[in-house]
Each structure stands twice: as structure tokens, then as C-alpha cells.
Amino acid sequence: MSGTSLDGVDAVLAEIGPGSQIRLLHTHYLPYPDDLRVQLLALHTPQSDEIHLAAIAANKLARLYAEAIKTLLDGFAPARVRAIGCHGQTLRHRPADGYTLQIGNASLLAELTRITVVADFRSRDIAAGGQGAPLVPAFHVRALRDPGAHRVIANIGGIANITDLPANGPVRGWDTGPGNMLPDAWIKRHRGAHYDRDGAWAASGTLHPGLLTALMRHTYLHLPPPKSAGREQFNLDWLDALLGGLNETIAPTDVQATLLEFTAISLANAISRECRGAQALYVCGGGAHNNALMQRIRTHLPGVRVATTAALGIDPDWMEALAFAWLARQTLHHVPGNLPAVTGARGERILGAIYPA
């Protein structure tokens, strides 16, 4: 898994048995080289010769994925691996226009590893009229649903998304808005860091009410689910335009504090509005390690237990990678991997394209 945070590759080796019983065997994280991160970020907006540049970046990604897998499988025979589930790196997510694009050259990855690769999970759902995202809620249903409690699972990566898991009744899920994307971009601009460790820089600033009000006016936040978001909706250009419209100078630390609050309150509002009766929220993804963010979420959700998915037996760092391993298994067994109530697709669909070893 490599997500919208553009930080690196999460790789897991998982054994999935009957009834989707899951055993996590090994894990490995491989950060993106700085030059690749810059290239991928640039490809999120139109540029000259972008088809060629995207193809070259896809090859670099495939080689990086293969390197991560080689380290992951240290001492474990590749022949014992049924398949690699590879999400790829999203460059465009435009379900309203009928497409999504994740690059990674699955053919090259299969060639380099000599392991079957399952990729391009999102396109079939979009072809069926869905958002193509989020897909992880289907995994949450299998691994984390409790018939005796109303749970919500939140993944806070570059974008934040939730899965509503009532004890009874339909499961829903959608992107609530920005996760770490805007705070990461802001601290990168001002301090050269890739992320705000523990939200410490944000905690040193003061919330700016005017900026928060402007952020919360984003039309995406007021759309009903199913819905999905990405850099197309939440980016520095949009933030810069809002800052320019306020006609005042705001200290960078205060902007960071307000961006953290924006992530917390947009997530909490979605849960309060759409997941009534929720008893517990379990967080995974990079945001689970941001103590300042977790505290703000707790403040906005009084009466709801807020913890990380470690409390449920799944390390928050590996949830999404595990989910795509499970989705690859669904593909190989010709079993649907989407939830139409989550994505808005016309029905259940078998997701992914298979690239044999």
C-alpha cells in the first residue's frame, strides 16, 4: 500500500484462511526517496509530457515495490506466496468523470518478483457507477465487526475515511475530508519536515477561528455519502486562496493548529451526524500516532471511546496493506470486494486485474 501521504510503501505478508481468518506474518516499511516523492506530487497536476513521466514513475514504483517485497520475504520462499495485492500510487481520482488512475506497472512487478500481482482495484467499481473508494470498509466488516457493539473505524492517512459498523444494519463508509495531507504539506513548506510528529508544531500554535470557518465551508464536507476525495479537493492551492481571502497575516504555527482542528472536527462531525449511536471509534493510519489530533477528536466526540485499532488486535500502521492483501484474495477467488452501500456502485463486483507470474 502506498497512499495519498506519499510517504512510502507499507508491505505485509499475511496468511488468510477460511472465513477470512487473518494472520500477520511479517511487515516492512520502505520510505519513498525524496526525488520520487517530488515526481509523484508533480504528476498530480497536468504538465508537459506527463504520459511519459507517469510511465517512468510507474516503473520506479514497481522496482521500489519489488525491493520492499524482497526485504519482507527474507527467508520466506516467494513460491509460497499466492499473490501480491498492489494498490499502486494514485495520481488522479475522478469518479465523476468515470475514471481513477493508480500507477505502479503491475506487469513489471510480476516480472521482478515472479509472483502473481493483483492491481487496479478501483476501476471496476467506478465502471459500475461507484466512487471506487473507500474499499477498505469491506475488509473492516470481515475483520472488525462486533455483533454486540456499534463501532466506527477511521483511517487517517492523507485523506480521512470512516467505516460505520453498527451491530445490526447496513455498513457504510466514505471519505470525511482531509487527514494528514494539508498539515503535512504545510509543515513541509515552512519547516522542511515530511510530517508534524505528534502534532507538536500544531500544538505550539493557536486556532484561528476565521480560517477554520473558511475551511469548513468546503462544499465536499456538506455532500451526503457515498463520496470520496483526494488532492483534487484538498491541496495547498486551495488553502492559499483561502488565506489570501482573509486579508490578514496568520502565523504559520496558527495555520498548522487550525489545519489539525479542521481534520479533527470534519471527522468528528461526520461521525456525529451519520453514525448515531456509535459507542467506539478505532483509528488507524498515520493519524493514530498524532497525539494532538487524537486528543482533539476525543474532545469533539464526548461519550465515544476513542482508541487505535491496536485495541482490536490490528496494528494501525498495517491496516490498509492488510486490507489490500484480503482484496487480492477476493479477486483470486472470484468473490466481490466492494460494498455498494459504501461506494455507490450498482452492485457487488469482483475487483482488480490479475497479472500472472
- Domain range spanning residue 240? 136-312
Q: Judge if 103 and 48 occupy the same domain.
A: yes
Structure confidence by residue, pLDDT tens digits, 131-144: 999 999 999 999 99
Q: Read off the pLDDT of each residue in 316-327 and give the average, rounded to a whole number.
A: 97
Mean per-residue pLDDT of the chain: 96
Structure confidence by residue, pLDDT tens digits, 283-306: 999 999 999 999 999 999 999 999
Q: Judge if 307 and 321 occupy the same domain.
A: no
**pLDDT band for position 178 (50/70/90)?**
very high
Answer yes or no: is pLDDT of 5 > 90: no
CA distances from residue 149 to 32, 82, 279 in whole angstroms, order as listed: 39, 35, 7
Answer yes or no: is pLDDT of 21 > 90: no
Amino acid 318: pLDDT: 97
Identify whether 195 is part of a domain: yes
Q: Judge if 77 and 34 occupy the same domain.
A: yes
Amino acid 20: pLDDT: 60
Q: Read off the pLDDT of each residue in 177-183 and give the average, rounded to a whole number.
A: 96
Q: Judge if 46 and 163 occupy the same domain.
A: no
Q: Judge if 219 and 108 occupy the same domain.
A: no
Terminal-to-terminal C-alpha distance of the chain: 20
Amino acid 17: pLDDT: 87
Identify whether 2 is part of a domain: no
Identify whether 244 is part of a domain: yes
Answer yes or no: is pLDDT of 91 > 80: yes
CATH code, domain with 140: 3.30.420.40
Q: Judge if 304 and 322 occupy the same domain.
A: no
Bridge-based pairing of strands 99-103 and 22-31 is unpaired
Answer yes or no: is pLDDT of 19 > 90: no
Question: Amino acid identity, residue 155?
Answer: N
* Distance (Å, whole) CA 164 – CA 267: 12
Identify whether 3 is part of a domain: no
Q: Read off the pLDDT of each residue in 209-221 and give the average, rounded to a whole number.
A: 98
**Cis, bond preceding 170 (omega within 30 deg of 0):** no
Q: Judge if 347 and 230 occupy the same domain.
A: no
**Closest to 144 in 3D by CA, of 345, 344, 319:** 319
Q: Judge if 323 and 290 occupy the same domain.
A: no
Domain count, the chain: 2
Structure confidence by residue, pLDDT tens digits, 30-85: 999 999 999 999 999 999 999 999 999 999 999 999 999 999 999 899 999 999 99
Q: Judge if 224 and 292 occupy the same domain.
A: yes
Rg, the chain, Cα only: 20
* Distance (Å, whole) CA 180 – CA 156: 7
Identify whether 17 is part of a domain: yes
Locate 332 and state its grid cell. 483470486
Q: Judge if 167 and 256 occupy the same domain.
A: yes
Identify whether 99 is part of a domain: yes
Weakest mean pLDDT among 2-6, 113-117, 337-341: 2-6
Answer yes or no: is pLDDT of 260 > 90: yes
Identify whether 1 is part of a domain: no
* Distance (Å, whole) CA 327 – CA 121: 8
Identify whether 345 is part of a domain: yes
* Distance (Å, whole) CA 341 – CA 344: 6
Q: Judge if 61 and 158 occupy the same domain.
A: no
Answer yes or no: is pLDDT of 337 > 80: yes
Q: Judge if 38 and 12 occupy the same domain.
A: yes
Q: How big is the chain, counted in residues?
A: 357
Amino acid 202: pLDDT: 98
